[in-house]
Amino acid sequence: MRVVGVDGMHHRRVRVAIVGAGGLGSYIGAVLARVGHEVTLIARGAHAASIEEHGLRVLSHAGDFSVRPKCAGSAFGLDGIELTFVAVKTYSLDAVAPQVRHLSEGGSVVVSLLNGVTATARLIAQGCGADRTLDGVAYMTAFRIEAGVVQRKAEHQEIVVGSPTARDAGAAGVGGDAAAYVERAFRETSVKIGVAADIRVELWEKMAVVCSLSVLCAMAARNMGSVRAHPLGADLQRQAIGEVLAVGRARGVPIPSDAEARIDEKLDLFPDDFFPSVIHDLNSGFRTEMDDLGGAISQMGREVGVPTPLHDAGTCIVQVAEARA
């Protein structure tokens, strides 16, 4: 991974659309609006009403702040958008894809921040320009805790972007200008932007983080601190990570040999009271993304002949509970 250099590119206001104004999307919109960019959140209902009346409030250990982004019920009425972030749940991507295509056709760079490993391929298949569509991996945690209010968790703030076709044209080729454009937009913020030569590696390593957290907390029905405190917790954590990376390697992704150890250390840094978004959604009575996380690992594992017993069990537990709820 390299950090993009954009010397000579002066800061100016960028027109940004956020498709999916949940915790992550709203937080990114707030960060960009705070440094002067013209941000429009695709949002409706109480969240939009609260933002329009009171502004969008961000709670964070680094300091609370408020901004006043615009809100729109649909992206179809927006023109001249230069940068679009897609932050919906994986199961909502097909529903919003026509709106994202509209923005792409208008010239916008599109960055997918969805979990899983297939989002950009789905967007490109539905008409988004391949030269302006980037995969993005967000290493930050934010939750919408009430209408108009999001809370940022943990200190780390980084987004790694990359073109899904860059490995065929060189990291600075296809998607290179689009990636530099993203870096420019975040230049005066606290969010670090990096560019991956092969974004598939970042996607699969993030998949290992999200899926391992989800299946471990699902099976224990407790937070990560409780899992770590159990005598079997450390071994189960390493096994969960290994299942995901084994599937990725079997699918031809060049995941480095040290990935297991790095991800294991990363999971150890999560706070004891941490619940992943899948469990947060399940406990809140919302639909979960488990089908595209643990369920996807189970399915792909069967396709390539890699056993995934922990992901099978974790997925079953979540989806049975979800159906019951």
CATH of the domain at 315: 1.10.1040.10
Is 281 within the bounds of a domain?
A: yes
Give the count of beta carbons closer than 10 Å to the beta carbon of residue 39.
27
Structure tokens at 99: 């709106």
| Residue pair 19/100 in contact by the 8 Å Cβ criterion | yes
Q: What is the mean pLDDT of residues 202-229?
A: 95
Segment among 61-75, 143-157, 252-266, 287-301 with least mean pLDDT? 143-157
* 5 part of a folded domain: no
The whole-number average pLDDT for the span 36-59 is: 97
Which conformational region is residue 147 in: left (phi greater than 0), alpha (psi within -120 to 50 degrees), or beta? beta
Query: Please, what is the average pLDDT of the chain?
Result: 91
* Window from 202-211, 249-258, 292-301, 316-325 with minimum mean pLDDT: 316-325
Strands 83-86 and 70-72: unpaired
Q: Are residues 138 and 44 in the same domain?
A: yes
Q: Over the stretch 79-95, which tens digit does the pLDDT of each residue have?
A: 999 999 999 999 999 99
In a 3-state reduction of DSSP, which class is residue 67? strand
Q: Would 9 be classed as within a structural domain? A: no
How does pLDDT run across 243-275, given as a tens digit for each residue?
999 999 999 999 999 999 999 999 998 889 988
What distance in Å separates the CA atoms of residue 287 and residue 290, rounded to the nearest whole number? 9
User: pTM value?
Assistant: 0.88
Alpha helices in the chain (DSSP H): 23-34, 45-54, 93-105, 119-125, 166-169, 176-186, 199-220, 224-229, 233-250, 259-268, 277-283, 294-304, 309-324
End-to-end C-alpha distance for the chain, whole angstroms: 42
Inter-CA distances, 170 with 193, 199, 248, 308, Å: 19, 12, 21, 33
Question: pLDDT per residue over 129-141, tens digit each?
Answer: 999 999 999 988 8
The reply to whether 179 falls in a domain is: yes
- Shared domain for 49 and 186, answered yes or no, is yes
Provide the number of structural domains found in the chain: 2
47 and 74: one domain? yes
Q: What percent of the chain has pLDDT over 70?
A: 93
Per-residue CA distances from 7 to 3, 177, 184 (Å): 12, 13, 10
Domain-ending residue, one of 197, 221, 250? 197
pLDDT at 140: 87
Same domain? 211 vs 285: yes
Enclosing domain of residue 114: 15-197
Q: What is the pLDDT, as a whole number, of residue 248? A: 98
Q: Which residues of 158-194 are buried (b: 16+ CB within 10 A; e: fewer)?
A: ebbbbbbbbbeeebbebbbebbbbbbbbbeeeebebb
Residue 146: its H or E element: strand 133-146
Which pLDDT band, with edges at 50, 70 and 90, does 61 fall under? confident
60: in domain: yes
For residue 89, the tally of other CB atoms under 10 A from its CB is 17
Asked if residue 4 lies in contact with residue 39, where contact means CB atoms within 8 angstroms, the answer is no
Asked whether residue 66 is assigned to any structural domain, the reply reads yes
